[in-house]
Amino acid sequence: MCGIAGFICSQYSPELRQSAVERMCEAMRHRGPDDAGLFTSETATLGMRRLAIFDPANGHQPMSTENGRYTLVFNGAIYNFRELRGELSTAGTTFKTHCDTEVLLAAYARWGEQCLNRLRGMFAFAIWDAQEQKLFFARDPFGIKPLYYAHSNNTLLFASELNAIIASGVVETQIDQAGLNAALSYLAVTAPRTIYKGVRSLRPGECATFQNGRFNVHSYWTFHNAINADHATCTSPRKFRNELRSRLEDTIRAHSLADVPVGAFLSGGLDSNAIVALMQRSGGARLKTFSIGFNEAAFTETAEAEAAAKHFGTEHHTFVLTGERLAADIETILSSYDQPTGDAINSYYVSQVARAGGVTVALSGLGGDELFGGYPWFETTPKLARWLPLWRHLPSPLRDNLLARLKRGDSRSQKLADFLRHARNIHELAGLQRRNFSEPARRELLNGDVNYKPHDELTFLSAELIEAKPFEIVSGWELRTYMADVLLRDSDVMSMRHSLEMRTPFVDRPLIEWLWNQRVSYKNTPNHPKAALACAVRDLLPRGAENRPKRGFTLPMAQWMHGPLRPFLEETFSLPSVAKSGFFNVSGVQARWQNFITGSDPREWSRVWTLAVAVNFVNRHSKTHTVSA
């Protein structure tokens, strides 16, 4: 695991480029405390910070082929690198290390871009081709690892974090109105946008080339790949359950590979219980597990997590997070963000606890809900989609009257109004599902262009999922949007802030492609979320774990925002703070805050918190940073 960076431009001197990349890497020291390296030529400079996972004594980056043609910087883990190494060795490649970095470099040297179809893992990497004077870079199919870039004329910069691109001193970093709109709409900025003008993100499953000033980007993996993958459909529910169990065991074995200590996050939920159960079954040293608890009984799963740890026989570590602790740490946490997000606090603390507990790698149950139908809208979205044609045929005055009533209701009614006003099909419904603020509310909060715009992924996913069933459409949207833009992005930022590699066995290309080709009736049991997963691991779970209602991992933020966090929020929502950047409508923002303080809507805290983070972030990062060539 690493932080990678690069600066490609013949118009800048090698010395200036090297200085910029050194600053970028220093800004990512937390991503790689074990090693650092630089490569500079007349045109390209690459840099890295390394967290050593495989073959810690070797694997220094940037790594070049023996003939010097290709030079690689790589962030991530290739879980099938040993199989690829064997195939490449048979073809005549010799290796000097036992790390996945050297295998990835050799795979690209032999197969070029087609190596992407052979990789199993999480990755963001860049390879400089000295012969062709070309940079190739790519991001894994589901966006587990990030990769940001800024392209202008004959110049390209890239890095694992936006803060690193800022640290280069080369790119103007002005807040982008569209990115801020997205952050308020979807809890986080949606790829390929970022919060800064002129800085972009590779989308999941994309790769790009930069040569002679020309930049080209395209998708190498889409959900069409999953649909067309060579996987047989199971012929009975029993065969499906058995095959699912086998594939879950396989992904756990792959994701547990490391030459450093490996642990797991453990809550009271099905997903993390399944991960830990399968890890324990695979044998090895006693497993370390980690969880976050609260003093507020309605939110904590401490008892369930500790009971599960006792059942599995793990060495369990629980950290009890209080509102007072969060209030004391809030400035440190917010300074870790390289984009505004309404999530991430839980990831910050559980990663901190895991690293302090002696592991360098931790497995997470993230992705289970997205694959196995863990959210209620797996049921409600297809139902609402079936009613949309009838709704559209109602007389306009009647529809307008109903919408006006809904908009005067609570947050759930306002969301339904958004659905009915803007959605024409199941894809547009799925794109609106994760809307944080209703359209009228968002207009009251922001200045500038706040007109309604559909989700950036609508064009892509409508095409990729054209042959998919409703369950798969919702799953595809959840995987590509909320999981990639919020859950995975926040988990990467916060785990790497503590020099911890987080792995997600459910977000595994072979597993997902196989699941995609199975019958929906096997994967989804109506009114029983994630029944397929529960059945596959039932014999390993603590009693009652498979039927425990989904609670989600929610912090007692509403209480804390009325208590220990209130001074921070009062300052954030003060007139000077809200007015500082010019992006926010002062009266709208302050009204939202006052309504939260005096109101009773239990869902409102997440919107107000997202708004507070956005105001704080914009105030911190509105400056521009430039240097001359």
pLDDT band at 356 (very low <50, low <70, confident <90, very high): very high
Say which residue the tokens 């139902």 belong to. 383
* H-state helical runs in 408-530: 411-422, 426-433, 439-445, 458-464, 470-478, 489-497, 509-516, 520-523
**pLDDT tens digit sequence for 117-151:** 999 999 999 999 999 999 999 999 999 999 999 99
> In the chain, helix, strand, coil percent, each to 5?
50, 15, 35
Reply yes or no on whether the pLDDT at 35 is more than 90. Answer: yes
Q: Which tokens in the block code for residue 60?
A: 């220094």
Reply yes or no on whether the pLDDT at 219 is more than 60. Answer: yes
For 37-48, what is the mean pLDDT? 96
Which pLDDT value is given to residue 2?
87
For 254-276, what is the mean pLDDT? 95
> Do residues 251 and 266 make contact, with C-beta atoms less than 8 angstroms apart?
no
> Do residues 506 and 475 make contact, with C-beta atoms less than 8 angstroms apart?
no
pLDDT band at 622 (very low <50, low <70, confident <90, very high): confident
For 596-623, what is the mean pLDDT? 90
For 157-183, what is the mean pLDDT? 93
Reply yes or no on whether the pLDDT at 546 is more than 80. Answer: no
Instruction: List C-alpha distances in Å: 58 to 52, 63, 198, 259, 508.
Output: 9, 11, 37, 12, 27
For 105-116, what is the mean pLDDT? 97
Cα–Cα distance for residue pair 125/108, rounded to 1 Å:
11
pLDDT band at 414 (very low <50, low <70, confident <90, very high): confident
How would you label 123-146 residue by residue, b for 16+ Cβ within 10 Å and e otherwise?
Answer: bbbbbbbbeebbbbbbbbbbbbbb
* Mean pLDDT (the chain, rounded): 93
Q: Please report the DSSP string for 302-369 in residue order.
A: HHHHHHHHHHHT-EEEEEE--HHHHHHHHHHHHHH-SS-BS--HHHHHHHHHHHHTT-SEEE--TTHH
3-state SS class at 300: coil
Side-by-side strand order, sheet with 262-265: 315-320, 288-293, 262-265, 361-363, 501-503
**How many Å from the N-terminal Cα to the C-terminal Cα in the chain?**
32
For the CA atoms of the chain, what is the radius of gyration? Answer: 24
**pLDDT tens digit sequence for 173-209:** 899 999 999 999 999 999 999 999 999 999 999 999 9
Note the pTM of the prediction, 2 decimals: 0.95
Percent of the chain with pLDDT over 90: 83
For 212-232, what is the mean pLDDT? 88
**pLDDT tens digit sequence for 571-609:** 999 999 999 999 999 999 999 999 999 987 777 899 999
pLDDT band at 256 (very low <50, low <70, confident <90, very high): very high
Cα–Cα distance for residue pair 116/139, rounded to 1 Å:
9
> Do residues 327 and 300 make contact, with C-beta atoms less than 8 angstroms apart?
no
3-state SS class at 155: strand
For 537, counting Cβ atoms within 10 Å of its Cβ (0-12 exposed, 13-18 middle, 19+ buried), the class is buried
| DSSP β-ladder status, 501-503 and 361-363 | parallel
Which pLDDT value is given to residue 391?
93
Cα–Cα distance for residue pair 296/559, rounded to 1 Å:
9
For 246-263, what is the mean pLDDT? 96
Which pLDDT value is given to residue 547?
65
Class of domain 2-221: alpha beta
Higher-pLDDT residue of 365 and 171 is 365
Cα–Cα distance for residue pair 271/259, rounded to 1 Å:
25
Percent of the chain with pLDDT over 70: 97
Which pLDDT value is given to residue 623?
57
**pLDDT tens digit sequence for 448-459:** 877 788 899 999
Reply yes or no on whether the pLDDT at 561 is more than 50. Answer: yes
**pLDDT tens digit sequence for 482-515:** 999 999 999 999 999 999 999 999 999 999 999 9
Q: Choose the most confident range, by mean pLDDT, from 226-240, 286-300, 355-369.
A: 355-369
> Do residues 612 and 601 make contact, with C-beta atoms less than 8 angstroms apart?
no
Say which residue the tokens 């989804």 belong to. 524
pLDDT band at 629 (very low <50, low <70, confident <90, very high): very low
Q: Say which CATH superfamily domain 230-373+488-547 falls into.
A: HUPs (3.40.50.620)
For 344-369, what is the mean pLDDT? 96
Angle between helices 100-111 and 81-90 (to 10 degrees): 50
Instruction: List C-alpha distances in Å: 356 to 1, 185, 349, 351.
Output: 18, 35, 11, 8
Which pLDDT value is given to residue 101?
96
Domain ranges of the chain: 2-221, 230-373+488-547, 377-474, 557-621
pLDDT band at 613 (very low <50, low <70, confident <90, very high): very high
pLDDT band at 552 (very low <50, low <70, confident <90, very high): low
